[in-house]
Amino acid sequence: MASLAQSMPQIAIPQQELLDWGKLWLGTSNPETKKKKKANSFDRHQSVNFAAVLDREFAKSLSIMLGQIPVRKAKSTSIVPPGSQDCVEFGQVRIIGAVRPQNFDVAYRPDGPRVAFDSKTLNDMASVRKNWQNMINDLSTEATTVHIRFPYAVVAFIVMIPKPALASKQETDIIRTLERLGTRSDVLDQAHLAEVVALVAWDPQTGTIDPSVPPPTSNIRIETFSDTLYQQYVSRYKGLPPHD
């Protein structure tokens, strides 16, 4: 059995990789598909691939936390890990919740879902303006469908938005709403809340994370994301199989 690590590494996309994505966001074409797109945005193909980078980094950190267990590609039609292995699953991880079946980006489910993670990206000003409230509804539904059936599961979300796409009022509203969403600290808390949430505002020009969004005291800072998830997991599963 794997031993739990003493911590979970912080989730971080390397600056150079973010800078490369920033160049695509700022440009007017997707070199992979050779199609034109709007400047200051991702096309759908780029958006999906960008989110996958974040999912990969989360899966790596979770694997280390769980004792360097392997990361395996999930099968979207399977409700158990591949080969019944003790592993972190990455891709479309099928969880049969109370509201509906839901595919998560990353999960750990040795005996049902213990950790379920989704990343969300809003990638231009129009998308933020039109879709951020729908995104909140999606996050709440995902948390609900897991927690009603699996109240001990740790549900985690990271939202990434380019800083130039955030208008000041939208930024304030998104921060306040995500802060309320990310407050589930007890298994008896409301099902629609998540154990851990982070908002990341990134600068396409420099490949850096904006240090002022959200505010330093916020509960949705990416710097505290891993520590919060680790503490939630340990409080519910420390000493239980498959951990020694």
pLDDT digits 0-9 by tens, 149-180: 999 999 999 999 999 999 888 999 999 999 99
Can you give the pLDDT at residue 38?
87
**Residue 124 forms part of a structural domain:** yes
Tell me which residue of 196, 96, 185 sits closest to 139, measured CA to CA.
196
Can you give the pLDDT at residue 1?
66
**Residue 243 forms part of a structural domain:** no
In the chain, the number of structural domains is 1
233 to 7, 20, 42, 65: CA distances (angstroms) = 11, 34, 34, 10
**Residue 6 forms part of a structural domain:** no
**Residue 49 forms part of a structural domain:** yes
The range of the structural domain enclosing residue 226 comes to 15-235
**Residue 3 forms part of a structural domain:** no
User: Which contacts (CB < 8 Å, 24+ apart) does range 169-176 have?
Assistant: 170/128, 170/129, 170/132, 171/201, 171/213, 173/132, 174/128, 174/132, 174/199, 175/199, 175/213, 175/214, 175/215, 175/218, 175/220
**Residue 1 forms part of a structural domain:** no
* Global pTM value: 0.96
Residues of the chain with pLDDT under 70: 1
**Which amino acid, one-letter code, is at 241?**
P
